[in-house]
Chains A and B, each alone.
Chain A
């Protein structure tokens, strides 16, 4: 089966511009998560969708970040306007069940989008 797909893989934008990241989860996975790793720091949770609904968005840093999940399929994460501190790697993950165990029921991550704001 196809894995979690993220694009673009890299994005370089100027401060103040808008960037939209996309994540296509594994087909049938109701749960979709966004994480990010700012350079040199831990990977941090951003938010969790169950189908098209936001289950938990406690990790969203501020209102410059907007996540959507159209029809419970793919998800987008828009940063507008981008700031220098938004640079990092943004990961998407999906799961079949709420990650109760590892393996097939655990989280499958995409390869990430490396965002550089200059």
Chain B
């Protein structure tokens, strides 16, 4: 998707290991979001950022942390991966509170 890149696209990791997913944008947008997508649950907000070093929790933040040291990068870390964190993770960006989201292509994470 134009202006937003997620890496890696796929990852398999073992239970108990730390994992970091990266979201990179070239749009200079202020707002960035991490969602997870699971069947039957739609998209659920994990964490979001409203500026460099300004982050807050979403509805399913337990077991996750985030960091945003630069406008363009928003990192999602699973401190100690569990099987319940197997999911597809999407990053989204927005120019402002009155604008829609642009989503990345997602990261499929499997915790074994």
Do A and B truly interact?
Answer: no
